[in-house]
Copies of this chain bind each other. A is one copy, B any other.
Amino acid sequence: MQFFKVKTVEETFAMIEENISAIKDTEERPLEEALHYITAACVTAKENVPGFDRSTVDGYAVKAKDTYGSSDSMPGFLTVVGEVRMGESAGIHLGQGEAVYVPTGGMIPPGSDSVIMIEHCEDHEGLLNTYKSVAPGENIIRAGEDIREGEVVLPEGTILRPQELGAIASLGISHVTVYHKLKVGYLSSGDEIVPYQTEKLLEGQIRDINYLTIASLAKQWNVEVIYGGIVKDDFQEFQQKAQNLYDQVDCLILSGGSSVGAKDYTTDVIGSLGSPGVFVHGISIKPGKPTILAMANGKPVIGLPGHPASAMIIFMLFGEKILRKLKGEKIDKKPDRIFARITKNIPSAPGRSDYIRVRLFEKEGEWWADPIIGKSGLITTLVKSDGIVEIRSEKEGISQGDYVPVIATR
């Protein structure tokens, strides 16, 4: 048997960073089906956005200098020479002393350099009284002001939020090259585990609720989950089912069996799947210490602890990081921690990271985090919580009123 030194949370993140890289498979997807996928190539603008100078208001296109000095008491006078219709070319060229009506979003006629809002002028049968002066460029979006032709709009590795999809669509691009959707396999093990649909339990049996929580988290992250079922504590069967599932997926999750108990085959099964094998066995974290992370021939394998709250917290921390790296996500700016003030003193062992479930409430423009006390086996502590406070390993606990990072779970 091999012995592993327990890793800190920081070391674990560093090892994930070092060991996991993006999958190779990419595909072209229509924008309507690309939400939350990751770009596998940069997106470059092949035209200006907008393609023409546009008005941002309903008003009259003018030469700005023709309005200088206009005021309520001393209006300026311009001649209305036409109207721009939405979706059509402006047509008319604007001369000195002239004005053309333009609706919001309409094209600015050549010769004009600004738009005066209808609120600031009056059209008296073709004679426009202007009550305000406008500056050159006022109420106009210039061609290319949003995106310039040739500009890299999105680098490779960008997650496609609604606004990124909008930006791509504005360029006349209707398909995008993305990394394919991750497939993750989930296999439960343990003689005591029965399908969660089991209505009546025999004594000592436990429903496989971790499958539901972990698979639901993965779905939230746009990952497909294949359920491998439940294996008994039998090495042969465990190895075979794990191998079978491993072959179909980009990442394998094994649940239960990661305690150093008599029937712990997880490490051996992981070892059998490929090299280099286990790189983290045990993390200095509470809850979730008996966590295993491995790489088997380029595919990550995650051995989760069995306690429901431990499994969720470990998967939210390290599982998400692994899956984001595997997906090809490079732009990692998501504010996935908020800062809140803790309502109580909480001691913590230095060298160990603690994750405390909390209720959040707002008071005078700040978030406060109120700890929920409960063992890591209790799923209801997570149901009652709005977030998880992180006490990093270098801290010897936190004091009432301290600012602490919180992972929001709502």
Q: Which residues of A contact B (CB under 8 A)?
A: 31-32, 35, 49-52, 54, 56, 58, 84-90, 103-107, 141, 145-147, 153-154, 159, 161-167, 169-170, 172, 174, 190-194, 196-210, 212-217, 219-220, 233, 259-263, 306-308, 312, 333-335, 337-339, 360, 362, 365-367, 375-380, 382-383, 385-387, 403, 405-406, 408-410
Q: A217 — nearest CB in chain B belongs to which residue?
A: B162
Which 5 pairs between the two chains have the least Cβ-Cβ distance?
A87-B192, A162-B216, A89-B203, A163-B382, A166-B213
Q: Which of B147, B172, B263 contacts A199 (CB 8 A)?
A: B172
Q: Which of B35, B210, B375, B409 contacts A219 (CB 8 A)?
A: B35
A190 touches B334 (CB 8 A): no
A151 to chain B, nearest CB (A): 9
Residue numbers in B under 8 Å from A162 (CB-CB): 212-214, 216-217, 220, 312
A335 touches B306 (CB 8 A): no
With A205-B87, A306-B105, A339-B339 known as contacts, the answer to whether A163 contacts B213 (CB < 8 A) is yes
This protein's copies in its complex: 2
Taken together as a complex, chains A and B put the C-alpha atoms of A405 and B362 apart, in Å, by: 11
A190 touches B403 (CB 8 A): no
A251 to chain B, nearest CB (A): 18
B166 touches A233 (CB 8 A): no
With A163-B213, A333-B360 known as contacts, the answer to whether A107 contacts B410 (CB < 8 A) is no
Q: Which of B56, B191, B192, B259 contacts A375 (CB 8 A)?
A: B56
Taken together as a complex, chains A and B put the C-alpha atoms of A378 and B166 apart, in Å, by: 11
A379 touches B167 (CB 8 A): yes
A56 touches B212 (CB 8 A): no
A112 to chain B, nearest CB (A): 15
A261 touches B379 (CB 8 A): no
Q: List 25 A-B contacts (CB under 8 A).
A: A49-B379, A56-B377, A58-B260, A87-B191, A87-B205, A88-B204, A90-B204, A103-B259, A105-B190, A106-B192, A146-B379, A161-B216, A161-B409, A162-B214, A163-B213, A163-B382, A166-B213, A166-B382, A169-B209, A170-B196, A172-B198, A334-B408, A339-B365, A365-B405, A366-B403
A398 to chain B, nearest CB (A): 11
Q: A104 — nearest CB in chain B belongs to which residue?
A: B259
A101 to chain B, nearest CB (A): 8
Q: Which of B165, B169, B262, B335 contacts A360 (CB 8 A)?
A: B335
Taken together as a complex, chains A and B put the C-alpha atoms of A107 and B185 apart, in Å, by: 29
Q: Which of B106, B204, B215, B217 contacts A106 (CB 8 A)?
A: B204
A212 touches B32 (CB 8 A): yes
Taken together as a complex, chains A and B put the C-alpha atoms of A409 and B333 apart, in Å, by: 11
B191 touches A308 (CB 8 A): no
Q: Which of B172, B194, B196, B204 contacts A201 (CB 8 A)?
A: B172
Residue numbers in B under 8 Å from A209 (CB-CB): 166-167, 169-170
Taken together as a complex, chains A and B put the C-alpha atoms of A387 and B339 apart, in Å, by: 15
Taken together as a complex, chains A and B put the C-alpha atoms of A261 and B375 apart, in Å, by: 62
Residue numbers in B under 8 Å from A104 (CB-CB): 259, 261, 306
Interface centre among A162, A215, A360 (most CB of B within 10 A): A162
Taken together as a complex, chains A and B put the C-alpha atoms of A387 and B336 apart, in Å, by: 12
A154 touches B383 (CB 8 A): yes
Taken together as a complex, chains A and B put the C-alpha atoms of A35 and B221 apart, in Å, by: 12
Interface centre among A107, A147, A410 (most CB of B within 10 A): A410
With A163-B409, A360-B335, A377-B146 known as contacts, the answer to whether A58 contacts B203 (CB < 8 A) is no
Q: Which of B146, B153, B220 contacts A378 (CB 8 A)?
A: B146
A204 touches B86 (CB 8 A): yes
Residue numbers in B under 8 Å from A259 (CB-CB): 58, 103-104
Residue numbers in B under 8 Å from A206 (CB-CB): 50, 87, 105
Interface centre among A165, A170, A205 (most CB of B within 10 A): A170
A202 to chain B, nearest CB (A): 8
